[in-house]
Amino acid sequence: MLDATSALDEPGLLAQTRRLGRLRFPPSIETEFQAYMHRKMCSRVWAVAVSSIGFMLLFIWVDYAFLPASIYQLTIPVRVLVLLLVCFSIWYSNRPERVAPRTAFETATLGYICTGMMVTMVILVCRTQALPVNVTHDGLYLILLSGSFLLGLPMRNSVLGSWFIVITYLIGEALIGSSRQLVLGNGLFLGCFTLMGSIGAYAYEHMLRRAYLNEQLLKAARVRAERESQSKTRFLATASHDLRQPLHAMTLFIRHLEEKVHEPETRKSVIHLAESAHLLQAMLTSLLDISRLSVGMVRPQLRHFNLRSWLERLLAGFEVSARERGIELALDCPPHCALHTDPMLLERLVRNYLNNALVHAGASRVQVVVTELEEQVRIAVEDNGCGLSRDEQLQIFEEFTQLRNPARTLEKGVGLGLSICRQLQHLLEYPSGVDSEPGQGASFWIEVPKGEWQEETQPQALPSTAMLEGQVLLVENDVVNRQAMETLLRHWGCEVECHEQGGRLLRGDRRDGDVDLLLADYHLEGDLNGLELIQALRQADIYTGPAVLVTADTSHDLAQKAEAADVVLIYKPVLPARLRRTVQSLLQRAGEAKVVG
C-alpha cells in the first residue's frame, strides 16, 4: 500500500488518471500497483487451480480413452509433467508478501506457456497419425481463454504468452507439412481469437489500474480529511483558549467598573458595555460549541442527578430575562425524579430550548413540563406563542436560521441555538421532537433515561453584598487577566498575593501568612500546568486547602482530572457573579475548617 506521504499526493494520482492508456505508472506508483495486481491474482487462485487441474486430468483421461497406445504413452507422461509444473507455478506465484510480484507473474506466465506448448505438441503429434478421432486446434482456445482472462496476468505477460503459443503452433503446422490453406485458416481463427483476448487483457488491466487509482484517491481524501479534522481540532482548542482569555479579563474589568461607578449616565454606559460583552460571550460560546460538536470533540459523561432542583437552578437564570419580556416562567416537575445522563450537555440543550421560547416564540407563558414514562423522563419546553408550520419546523434547526429576525439584530442571537440542540440530540441519541401548529404554540421535547434519586441538602444562601474575608493566592501568567482578577478580588475585600508561575511557590519562596484559597490558571509557563501545580503543592504539604482551577480548556478529560483531584473548575470567561459565589463559598469553608482545627 502507499504510505501516508505518497497517498497524499492527490495531484500526482489525478494526473495518472489521464495517462491510463499507456498502462504504466511512474516507478513510485508502479511498484505498489504490481503488488496490488498480485493480490488480485491471488484472490482467484482456487478458481484457477480447480479449472486448470480439472481440465488437465480430464484430457489425460480423453487421451487414454480415445487415442492409440502409441500416442497416449507419449502424451500422458508429458501432460502429467506439465500438470506438476502447473501445480508448482500456482503454489509458488500465489503467495503475496513472500514472492515478488514480478517473479510471481513470470512464474505463472511460464506455466501458461508450457501448458500451451503441451497442447500444441499433442495436436501436432496427432496430426502425424491416422486416427479415428480428428484432433483439431480447438483445445488451444481453452488455453488462450485462460491466459487472457482467468489467470489475471498483466497485459504484457498475457499477450506475449498467447502470441508465442499461437505462432509456435502455426510454425509446427508448417513443419509437419500441413497445407498452406490449413495453416492460413487456422492462423486466421487463432489470430482473431488471440487479438480479442489481447484487447480483453488490455481492458482488464486498464480497469484494474483505474480501480487502484480510485482506491488510492479515496485513501488520500480520507487522510486529508483526518488531517483537516485534526487541524480544525487544534484550531478550536487554540481559538477557545486565546479568544476566551481577553474576554475573561474584559468581563472582570467591566464588573469592577459596574461596582465602582455610581454616576447615572456613566453607569448606564457601563451597563450597556456589560450587555455587549455578555452578548459577545454568548456568540463565541455558540460558535465554538457548534464547531466542537461537528468535529466530534465532545463525549457524553453520564451520571445520576436529581432533576427538580437542577431545573430550578436552570430556570432561576432566566427569571430576569422572562420578567423583562413580560413572560410567565413556570415549572411542572415531580419532586422525586432523577436522570442518568450528561448534565452539562442536557443543560445546554434545555437552555437553548428556553432561550428560543423566550426570544423567538412571542409567547406570554413558557413552561417546563416533566413527564415520567416507563424507563425515560420526557422534558418538554412549552410555550403559547405563534407556533410553527411543518416547513418552519425543518428550517429552525439549520445553522444561522432565524425565522422572525429579518434584520439580524444581535439581541436575538446568531441563529445557532437550535442547531446546537440538533447536534446534541444526535450525540446523546435520545428520542426528541417538536410538536407545534401555527398559532397554537410549540413544545420542544426530549426523552432522557431515568436515574437514581438521591437525598440532597439545601445549600446555605450566601449574602451577595457582604465583603469577603480571606487571603487568596492567585497564579496567573497572563498579565491582563492577573490584573483583572486581582482588582476584582481586592474590591470584594480579599487579600491577594499574585504569582506568574508556580516555581517560587514550590520552593516555599513567598511572603508569610496563611492562604485560605488558591486560584490557579491551567495554562502556566514552566513545566507544570495549574492542576499539576496544585497537586504538587498538596503533596509537598505547602498548601492543602481549597483550590480553584480557572481555564479556557473545556475538554471532559480535564474536568474528570479536576474532579478526581478535588479541585473546583470554572471556565473562562467566568461570570463575575459566579466567581464571587465560588470564592465566597470556598473561603467560608476554609474559615469553618480553621475553627474546627
| Region of poorest pLDDT, from 23-27, 110-114, 279-283, 317-321 | 279-283
Q: Which three cell numbers stand for residue 340?
A: 442518568
Which single residue is written with the C-alpha cell 511557590? 505
Assign 382 to helix, strand or coil.
strand
φ/ψ of 446, rounded to 5, equals: -150, 145
Q: What is the pLDDT of residue 158?
A: 93
d(CA 58, CA 363): 88
Q: How many CB atoms lie within 10 A of CB 365?
A: 16
Residue 230: pLDDT band with limits 50, 70, 90: low
Q: What is the pLDDT of residue 460?
A: 54
Q: What integer best gives the mean pLDDT of the chain? A: 82
The model's pTM is 0.51
Q: What is the pLDDT of residue 114?
A: 94
Confidence check: pLDDT of 80 > 90:
yes
Confidence check: pLDDT of 511 > 80:
no
Among left, alpha and beta (phi > 0; psi -120 to 50; other), residue 329 is beta
Handedness of CA 481, 483, 484, 485 (dihedral sign): positive
Q: What is the pLDDT of residue 54?
A: 92
Q: What is the pLDDT of residue 60?
A: 92
Residue 281: pLDDT band with limits 50, 70, 90: low
Q: What is the pLDDT of residue 526?
A: 78
Confidence check: pLDDT of 525 > 50:
yes
Q: What is the pLDDT of residue 208?
A: 92
Confidence check: pLDDT of 7 > 50:
no
CA torsion 489→495→496→502, rounded to 10°?
Answer: -130
d(CA 590, CA 430): 42
Which stretch, 134-138, 248-252, 422-426, 445-449, has highest mean pLDDT? 445-449
pLDDT digits (tens, 9 = 90+) for 436-495: 888 888 898 999 999 888 877 655 555 556 788 888 899 888 888 888 888 888 888 888
Q: What angle do CA 321, 252, 309 make, to 5 degrees?
A: 45
As a whole number, mean pLDDT of residues 300-306 equals 85
Residue 409: pLDDT band with limits 50, 70, 90: very low
Q: What is the pLDDT of residue 70?
A: 87
Among left, alpha and beta (phi > 0; psi -120 to 50; other), residue 44 is alpha
Confidence check: pLDDT of 399 > 70:
no
Q: What is the pLDDT of residue 190?
A: 92
Assign 90 to helix, strand or coil.
helix
pLDDT digits (tens, 9 = 90+) for 315-370: 887 888 888 889 999 999 998 899 999 888 888 888 888 888 888 888 899 999 99
Give the residue, 39 or 429, on which the prediction is more confident. 39
Q: What is the pLDDT of residue 110?
A: 94
Confidence check: pLDDT of 194 > 90:
yes
Residue 4: pLDDT band with limits 50, 70, 90: very low
d(CA 213, CA 29): 10
Q: Which three cell numbers stand for residue 385?
A: 406563542
Give the residue, 402 or 339, on which the prediction is more confident. 339
Q: What is the pLDDT of residue 428?
A: 81
Q: What is the pLDDT of residue 8?
A: 47
Give the residue, 83 or 577, on which the prediction is more confident. 83
Half-sphere exposure of 78 (CA within 13 A, CB side): 18
In one-letter notation, the amino acid at residue 436 is S
Q: How many CB atoms lie within 10 A of CB 251?
A: 24
Give the residue, 117 or 403, on which the prediction is more confident. 117
Give the residue, 199 or 573, on which the prediction is more confident. 199
Give the residue, 391 or 331, on which the prediction is more confident. 331
315 within 8 A of 358, measured Cβ to Cβ: no
pLDDT digits (tens, 9 = 90+) for 528-586: 888 988 998 888 888 888 999 988 776 767 888 888 888 998 887 777 878 888 888 88
Q: How many CB atoms lie within 10 A of CB 36?
A: 21
As a whole number, mean pLDDT of residues 82-100 equals 92
Q: What is the pLDDT of residue 1?
A: 39
Q: What is the pLDDT of residue 407?
A: 40
d(CA 550, CA 572): 7
pLDDT digits (tens, 9 = 90+) for 146-189: 888 888 899 999 999 999 999 999 999 999 988 889 889 989 99
Nearest CA-CA partner of 453 in 301, 312, 340, 337: 337
CA torsion 159→164→170→171, rounded to 10°?
Answer: 160
pLDDT digits (tens, 9 = 90+) for 14-69: 777 777 778 888 887 888 899 999 999 999 899 999 999 999 999 999 889 888 89
Q: What is the pLDDT of residue 458?
A: 57
Which stretch, 112-116, 279-283, 450-454, has highest mean pLDDT? 112-116
Which single residue is written with the C-alpha cell 436529581? 306
Handedness of CA 507, 509, 513, 518 (dihedral sign): negative
Q: What is the pLDDT of residue 178?
A: 86
Confidence check: pLDDT of 410 > 50:
no
